[in-house]
Amino acid sequence: MSKSKVVTLQEAMTHCYNGMTVLIPGFVNCGVPVTLIDGILESGITEVNVISNNTSIKGEGIGKLVHAGVIKKITCSHIGSNTETMEKVVAGEINVNFVPQGSLSEKVRAGGAGIGGILTPAGVHTPMEEGKQLLEWDDEKGEFKFVKSSDPQVGSRYILELPLHADVAIIHAWKADKMGNVVYNHTARNFNEVFATAADYVIVEAEHIVEVGELGPNEIMTPGAIVDCVVQARGYEG
Amino acid sequence: MRPVTNNREFIACRTAKFFKDGDLVNLGIGMPTLCLEYIPEGIDVWVDSENGVIGLLGAPQEGETAPADVVDAGGHPSMLREGGCCFDSFRSFGYIRGGHVAATVLGAYEVDAEGNLANWMIPGKAAAGMGGAMDLVSGAKITIVMSTHTDKEGNPKFVQHTDMPLTGYHCVDYFVSELAVIHVTKDGPVLEEIAPTTTVEEVVAKTGAKLIIPEKVGCMA
């Protein structure tokens, strides 16, 4: 008999703390862990470093954390769908670090998969090069060499993007069984699956919590073995 | 097919003619999404969206309800066709960077004669972020920019050299506006087609780059 990982929201929040780095998935308002975001707000946690694709829309989803002023820094690809985030960034209240969307998910994948970094063509010859190492493939020698932005490009050029790993990941599932096996629904999968791999502590909120065995081995998208606890998502009870 | 009643629709209608049967295409938010309305008869394309889905059909029409948790690149509910599928973000960008997307269609602040694209930040203004654009232009087989030919002040959007922060380097293949189709080649930008309502002289006057004018310039239709 596997041990149930189902806990209350308050119990789950004991693993969140001031100054934590937290992975928050979602694409605009789809697949966002809104119950766990409410939990962070209700716990009074502050000075949070967020890694997310975007900040939802004003006052909703991740936008609630923006509005409450608890985000110190955010690593993301886009904030344009939330005017309040734009205003807070301009006012210097939130420090934003833009990363191309594909590089963001791949950095987190590397962080969760024990890979030392990834080489991507995305962002070469753009402001994304700043502060990062660049490599170019030398076809004759059959090896990579480090280059500078100002060097003329001869071969295929890549940016070395380093892994991202967080203290906590908060994940939104469609269905989870009591040991934390997860199935995501349609495009709500987005960053959830990869973000669940790259944190010290992984909290899942699920619309539907089912018995172990109800989710088949071919449909489970995130194995319960890498999930620490499961919380019932609000608004789906019963 | 939806009737063409304005410049945006005209640009979308021409752009959709680049698609080949069976292509996987990524359409940016805004004007590029309009291409869906003008896919030529007999051409079946699969629409990719970077949030992790292939097979989007667009916003639900009257009497339709989008499936739960199916959204497009703008976060708006969308219909999903039979055979469509959803996947994680890192796989989505694997397909994008990996050359599996036949065409990516997006907007621009400026495009230059070498195919450099600027569409994500204007120096001195708050940036919204690049989203998936840098990944898309680095990996799609062709990059098509849909744009008005000039900005609101009448300045050309196709220039000889852009000084704006880039989204992609040497990545744009085609620039499609209400006036012209410009093909960016190794030799330089070629004026391949002009709109029926304009002249080569007008296009040249409203373009900031030196265009290569072939003997026979086609007509956009």
Q: What is the pLDDT of residues A6-43, one digit of tens each?
A: 999 999 999 999 999 999 999 999 999 999 999 999 99
pLDDT at position A48 is 98
Domain assignment present for A44: yes
What was the pLDDT predicted at B77? 96
Chain-chain contact of B132 with A77 (C-beta, under 8 angstroms)? yes
Contact B11, B31 (CB under 8 A): yes
Q: Are residues A198 and A127 in the same domain?
A: no
**Predicted confidence (pLDDT) per residue in A107-132, tens digit:** 999 999 999 999 999 999 999 999 99
Q: Do residues A203 and A145 both lie within one domain?
A: no
CATH of the domain at A213: 3.40.1080.10
Question: Can you read off the two tokens belonging to residue B111?
Answer: 């495009």
> How do the domains of chain B map onto residue ranges?
7-219
Same domain, A149 and A170: no
Its domain, for residue A41, covers 9-100+164-232
pLDDT tens digits for B158-215? 999 999 999 999 999 999 999 999 999 999 999 999 999 999 999 999 999 999 999 9
Q: Which two tokens stand for residue B195?
A: 């709109």
What are the beta bridge partners of residue B180? B194
Whether A185 and A146 share a structural domain? no
DSSP state letters, A20-72: -EEE---BTTBS--HHHHHHHHHTT--SEEEE-S---STTSTHHHHHHHT-EE
How far, in Å, CA of B189 to CA of A203, rounded? 53
Is the residue at A237 inside a domain? no
Could you tell me the pTM of the whole model?
A: 0.97
Contact A78 B134 (CB under 8 A): no
Cβ-proximal residues to B141 (8 Å cutoff; 6+ apart), any chain: B99, B101, B102, B103
Domain count, chain A: 2
> Residue A1: is its pLDDT beyond 70?
no
- Those residues of chain B that have pLDDT short of 50 are none
Residue A177 reports pLDDT greater than 90: yes
What is the domain class of B7-219 according to CATH? alpha beta
- Pick among B88, B97, B125, B166 to test the A interface (most A CBs inside 10 A): B88
Q: Tell me whether residue A111 is in a domain.
A: no
B85 touches chain A (CB under 8 A): no
Output the pLDDT for position A136: 98
The pLDDT of residue A36: 98
CA-nearest of B73, B79, B21 to B48 is B73
Catalytic site residue B41?
A: no
Domain assignment present for residue A1? The answer is no
pLDDT band at A238; cut points 50, 70, 90: confident
Q: Which of A161, A191, A214 is the last residue of a domain?
A: A161
Task: Count the helices and strands in chain B (H runs, E runs).
Answer: 4, 13
In a domain, A109, yes or no: no
Verify that A83 and A17 share a domain, yes or no.
yes
Classify residue A75: in a domain, yes or no: yes
Task: Say whether both A88 and A124 belong to one domain.
Answer: no
The answer to whether position A126 is within a domain reads yes
Of residues B67, B69, B130, nearest to A100 (C-beta): B130
Structure tokens at A200: 């010290």
Residue of B nearest to A222 (CA): B88
Position A92 in a domain: yes
Terminal-to-terminal C-alpha distance of chain B: 14
The predicted structure's pLDDT at residue B221: 80
Q: What one-character DSSP code corresponds to residue B32?
A: G
pLDDT tens-digit readout, A135-171: 999 999 999 999 999 999 999 999 999 999 999 999 9
Looking at the fold, whether A175 and A150 belong to one and the same domain comes out as no
Average pLDDT, chain A: 97
pLDDT of residue A2: 75
